[in-house]
Amino acid sequence: MKSKFALTNGIIFTGNNTYTYKALLIEGESILCVVDETNIPESFEKIDVQGKYIAPGLIDLQIYGAAGSLFSADLTVDSINRIEQALLREGCTSFYLTLATNTLEVFKEAIEIYKSTSSEIALGLHLEGPFLNPIKRGAHPEELIIEASESIMEYLLAEDEGVVKMMTIAPELMSSECIQYLQRKGILISAGHSNATYEEANEAFESGVKTVTHLWNAMSPLHHRNVGLPGATYNHHSVHASIIADGIHVDFEAVKISKAMMGERLFLITDAVTSCDKGIYKHIYNKDHYVLPNGTLSGSAVSMIKSVENCVRHIGIALDEAIRMATLYPANLINRDDLGRLEEGALANILVFDDAFRVDSVYFKGQKVDK
């Protein structure tokens, strides 16, 4: 028998609407509807959230690891499971497990390991590299950045079976044939670690590059004589961009400007890593972010719920809109109308949190997650 329960006495963010004095009805794995609290069917268990916020589960399209497990350095199913459970407890119910530039062999091994999982929390892999611009490599090793060709891509993705969902590339260094190959594979193409000019970026957007990876970081600058990739991103009518709202990778004022320019096209990622002392990426925790041994900024330490909080407290974005940046907008980008919203038929992935942005409870497909 399907479980039936109602979350009551909270402020409900469904995605497009905000409700008070209403109840969210959940049946089995799915959202049933929102009703007046006086109209809850008798067969539904009532759960009083005591005035807290009820939001869709958060979605992170770029995260490398959590809780001491960096996937690229620990290519195991157990590593994926540990990352998933850590993120669930933080209210992140869907994510793309990401690998930064590495050898093709490591990428292929990661694909095989991921294929052996039955994950429903991790939605697929995001390969950030190796087809980047060395000039804007950031923490990526220059010696492992390679030029794209159809034959290399075919070798890399020959047996991916659709698990590679997203790839960050430097569009100015990738041929139209390679972009078309990724499109045929159904992979979401994102421009990043790029030194593209305004014209090169626009050409890429018109050719099928639909989003931009961590806006401002590791890309051509916004200059008054050449506005580069950021300027092209601002001015385009449909291209999206992710941004890291930790106040370190991008100043909060730059996030504010970006939000004003892009509206619903801007969404949140964490770009989060975890402490790691093996493999290519030896991440060292430094107060509130991670660096490589040489001091290069290598990843954030922010969570998705903290990103939402930062948007509200430091950037002045309304809470409902900050939530959409972490739920509805990334879900729409990856064409998942069953995620990122609390509407009829959507998966019952739910985050309940208080006004201090502390996670109270999390539900995944209608089941409460153990803390």
Could you give the residue numbers annotated as active site?
271
Identity at 16, one-letter amino acid code? N
- 86-105 burial string, b = 16+ CB within 10 Å, else e? bbbbbbbbbbbbbbbbbeee
Token digits of residue 6: 């109602």
Phi, psi of 9 (to 5 degrees): 60, 45
- CB-neighbour burial class of residue 142 (10 A; exposed 0-12, middle 13-18, buried 19+): exposed
How far is it, in rounded angstroms, from Cα 293 to Cα 251? Answer: 24
**CB neighbours of residue 355 within 10 Å:** 10
Q: For strand 240-244 and strand 211-212, is the pairing parallel, antiparallel, or unpaired?
A: parallel
Cβ-based neighbours of 88, under 8 Å, separated by 6 or more = 121, 362, 364, 369
Count of residues for the chain?
A: 371
